[in-house]
Amino acid sequence: MYEQGGDPDFWWKWMLMMATVILSVIVFNAIMRKLLNVERQKFFSYNHINEKHKKVDWTIRISTVVVLLLGFAINSTRNPTDWFWFFQPWNILLLFLISSQTAKAIMERKYAENRNRYKVTIGETVFILALFVSLYLTDFWGIV
């Protein structure tokens, strides 16, 4: 059943899972934009609403990098069984995602021309978090 080195179909399953996740997010986003009459943003671009949003976003990004480096430095000096959970990269990145998207939604609600844009951002964030929680709770849909 398994060869030396693990499941020979692992990478195919992993690519199928990633394609499913990406397609799900794209379809969810398209449906939300259509329902709320919100224009599509450029792919792989991050448009700041105004200068205040830009400053807040860059503060969050720089703080995340500093905490990642600090967490790595602290946890690398400790025994792996004694690592601080809050310095684990996935926890820091999850906090970054939530704080960055929350700041974006607040700025969109206050300053965007189309006030429905923040609803898309919140819905997208909740959907992505639910998707990743389902992946975690189901051992990546049975792939791992």
In a domain, 3, yes or no: no
pTM of the model: 0.82
In a domain, 42, yes or no: yes
DSSP lists the bridge partners of residue 3 as 6
- Determine the pLDDT at residue 1: 47
Tell me what the mean pLDDT of segment 64-74 comes to: 95
In a domain, 4, yes or no: no
Is-contact 119 104, C-beta < 8 A?
Answer: no
- Determine the pLDDT at residue 3: 53
In a domain, 1, yes or no: no
Total domain count for the chain?
1
In a domain, 2, yes or no: no
In a domain, 93, yes or no: yes
**Does 18 score more than 50 pLDDT?**
yes
Share of residues in the chain with pLDDT > 90 (%) = 69
The boundaries of the domain holding residue 45 are 10-142
- Determine the pLDDT at residue 144: 67
